[in-house]
Amino acid sequence: MPRAGLSPDGVVDAAINLVDTDGAAALTLSAVAGSAGVATPSLYKHVRSLAELRQLVTLRVLDELADRVSEAAMGRSGDDAVRAVMRAYRSYVVDHPGRYAAMEQTPATEPPLAAAADRLLGAVLAVLRGYDLDGPALIHAARCLRSAVHGFAVLEASGGFGLPEPLEESYELLIGMVISGLR
């Protein structure tokens, strides 16, 4: 019988707390069980494997990121929308580096993951359509925007920028470069 209070969502909560505290590499069933106060075999009543738990963590992160990006874009268009989306995406990564690092970066094929990834992508594509992009040009633009934000934010979150110039100025320059490229 499952432990009272423990559920699949509770296991994901414990995994999220673990990666937030100790980093993505700490995500093991044993560590999650320890933080949830159960024996490792007890987790199998809620998740089938570490792979499934990683997918559930990815789903949670995709949902949170899609919410943040969608909220940022709401009511905005053009350059203002791109700025808001890029700032929101970066802030999520910097605010939650462990959970973002724990998110699988490969294309989502499982239905719940694919739906969450599509929601995030849909928000980005909606913003980019404001530049009269469609077809392959729209996809290329989305890839470039994601690459720019992901690269900068991951480097920032890991302490990869050691020079004294303000990061905000560098990021605003990057946003300007992306917007110039979209025009």
Do 67 and 141 belong together in one domain? yes
Do 40 and 8 belong together in one domain? yes
The pLDDT, as a whole number, for residue 1 is 40
Do 24 and 101 belong together in one domain? no
Nearest Cα residue to 150 out of 65, 75, 73:
65
pTM for this one?
0.91
The pLDDT, as a whole number, for residue 2 is 45
Residue 106 has pLDDT above 90, yes or no: no
Using 50, 70 and 90 to split pLDDT, how confident is the model at 105?
A: confident
Do 20 and 75 belong together in one domain? no
Burial degree of 67 (CB within 10 A; 0-12, 13-18, 19+): middle
Do 32 and 105 belong together in one domain? no
Q: Is residue 33 part of a domain?
A: yes
pLDDT mean over 20-36? 94
- If one counts the domains in the chain, the total is 2
Domain interval for residue 19: 1-47
Q: Is residue 3 part of a domain?
A: yes
Nearest Cα residue to 30 out of 16, 48, 50, 45:
50
Q: Is residue 155 part of a domain?
A: yes
Do 76 and 124 belong together in one domain? yes
CATH number at 15 reads 1.10.10.60
The pLDDT, as a whole number, for residue 24 is 94
The pLDDT, as a whole number, for residue 5 is 67
Q: Is residue 53 part of a domain?
A: no
Q: End-to-end CA distance of the chain, in Å?
A: 59
Q: Is residue 12 part of a domain?
A: yes
pLDDT mean over 76-91? 97
Do 18 and 86 belong together in one domain? no
Q: Is residue 52 part of a domain?
A: no
CATH number at 140 reads 1.10.357.10
Q: Is residue 154 part of a domain?
A: yes
Helices within the chain (DSSP H only): 8-22, 29-36, 40-43, 50-73, 78-95, 97-102, 111-128, 135-157, 167-182
Q: Is residue 9 part of a domain?
A: yes
Using 50, 70 and 90 to split pLDDT, how confident is the model at 96?
A: very high
Nearest Cα residue to 62 out of 119, 24, 139:
119
